[in-house]
A = this chain, B = another copy of it.
Amino acid sequence: MSEKLWRKNLINIEPYVAGEQPKNDKIIKLNANENPYPPSSKVKAILEGKTIAELRKYPSADASVLRAALAERVGLKSENVFCGNGSDDVLATAFRAFFNSDKPILYPDITYSFYPVWCELLKIPYKTKSVDDDFVINIEDFKEPNGGVVIPNPNAPTSLGVGEKFIRELLENNQDSIVIIDEAYVDFGRYSCVELVKEYDNLVVTQTFSKSRSLAGMRVGMAFASAELISYMQAVKDSYNSYPLDQIAIETAVASLSDEDYFKATVEKVKATRDRTAEKMREMGFNVLDSETNFLFAQHEKLSAKEIFTYLRENGIFVRYFNKPRIDNFLRITIGTDEEMELMLEKLSEICK
């Protein structure tokens, strides 16, 4: 291409590459950590009962109805809740609002691959801390001066979680920075630190409707924090896009929250399938990490991850393979329905023979 002068003004970035999204409906899709079950039937009722005339108006700029419902559920106030267009939007907003130090922010080396992407985009200095050979995060690594801390709990793609003791120790040792705990998968885990928002005014906890509530298609994420920190997130949002959540996203999310029984039942089903699948994979010679999420992170004692990935793919089963240092012999397998997992296990047993 000719060197037109305007090209000098184009941004210089490396975009994040999302997981493959096969379009064939026959494929068993275990590569995006989506929930195998539909959202609550109350979501259907919302769509069917919707008066579309209302859609001509702008939605609530701060999703006030949803914030109130979330606040009530976790025992906080609306002023402690921020909602955004998926937890990616929420996390990116938090990075921009809170990570403005010359010191690097800290997060684990094996973690959600969007963190370095936001740091590049927003010009935030960062330093990664190596998890150990069993992918465990070492609390000692997060006791040095920093410009902020991000810990996903449970972590992805490792599937491992930490408990209250770890989080408290982290907070006690980071009183001069803002600490983000990314709880995208927490409903499948053992411990959410949302309660600690009442004790620590520098803690931000992010969650999502995409996994445990089967609403990835609606893009709703949230953060819980002190009123002061939430006001900064609102200010950043209002400087970028005042209405990130559309009216129907707000209403379907509220409907989902109103159906706690269905939510709990779905989460329990996924966890039961997960634990059964892990057990059977271990019998086939897999090292399967103790998952607190809706996916398994596993490597085989003899076969390479790439080999298994390719075999599954040829058989119409998509899982996630990361061609990255330290984890290039692992597979990340989303928990599907029992039926889907049986088919997957069958294919694994064929290749493991």
Residues of A bordering B, CB below 8 Å: 1, 4-6, 8-18, 21, 29, 32, 34-39, 41, 43-44, 47-48, 50, 52-61, 85-86, 88-89, 92, 96-101, 117-118, 120-121, 147-148, 175-178, 201-202, 210, 214-219, 228, 232, 234-236, 238-249, 252
Q: Closest chain B residue to A87 by CB distance?
A: B241
- Are A238 and B55 closer than 8 Å at their CB atoms? no
Q: Say how many copies of this protein the assembly contains.
A: 2
Q: Which residues of B contact A13 (CB under 8 A)?
A: 235-236, 239
Q: Which residues of B contact A5 (CB under 8 A)?
A: 175-177
- Are B36 and A55 closer than 8 Å at their CB atoms? no
Listed by A's residue number, 25 A-B pairs whose Cβ atoms lie within 8 Å are A4-B202, A6-B175, A9-B99, A11-B232, A11-B236, A13-B235, A15-B235, A16-B239, A32-B57, A32-B58, A34-B57, A38-B56, A43-B55, A47-B48, A48-B48, A55-B217, A56-B214, A56-B217, A57-B217, A85-B85, A88-B240, A121-B236, A218-B246, A219-B245, A246-B248
- Are A16 and B242 closer than 8 Å at their CB atoms? yes
Q: Which residues of B contact A6 (CB under 8 A)?
A: 98, 175-178, 202
- Are B10 and A98 closer than 8 Å at their CB atoms? yes
- Are A9 and B58 closer than 8 Å at their CB atoms? no
Residue among A5, A178, A235, A239 having the largest count of chain B Cβ atoms under 10 Å = A239
CB distance from A150 to the nearest CB of B (A): 13
Alpha-carbon distance A258/B6, docked complex (angstroms): 36
Q: Which residues of B contact A9 (CB under 8 A)?
A: 98-101, 147-148, 177-178
Q: Which residues of B contact A249 (CB under 8 A)?
A: 246, 248-249
- Are B241 and A88 closer than 8 Å at their CB atoms? yes
Q: A8-B101, A47-B48, A249-B249 are in contact. List 11 more A-B contacts (CB 8 A).
A: A11-B100, A15-B234, A15-B239, A29-B57, A56-B216, A56-B217, A57-B216, A58-B210, A58-B216, A59-B219, A118-B240
Q: Which residues of B contact A35 (CB under 8 A)?
A: 56
